Amino acid sequence: MAVPRPPRYARQVTKSGWSIREGGQYPVGPARIEVDSVELVPFASMTAADIRRSGEKDRESLRQRAAHAGPITDDTLLYRVEFHLVQSQAR
């Protein structure tokens, strides 16, 4: 099974606290990303642009994906992580 490439720029939302930091570089499949920012924000603050950049089609799809660590309400605090691609291996 092929691992999909991460986009050149993306935003990820998660409820669990990853061990990541701004400026850190991390392997993702055959690529490497660098974290631009990490913010703790309420789910209700997700904008249409945030949802689009996350790759989800709507707010409820994003809520379901982010709920891997438990239910998400509008007041649930999530880590919003912005990152960009720094290295990709040729296929």
pLDDT tens sequence across 22-51? 898 988 888 898 999 988 899 999 899 888
- Sorted by where each starts, the structural domains of the chain and their CATH numbers stand as 9-88 (3.10.400.10)
Q: How far is Cα 63 from Cα 14, in angstroms, rounded to an integer?
A: 10
Q: What is the pLDDT of residues 56-70, one digit of tens each?
A: 999 999 899 888 878
Q: In which element (H, E) is residue 62 found?
A: helix 59-66
With CA atoms as reference, report the closest residue to 62 among 70, 72, 77, 8.
72
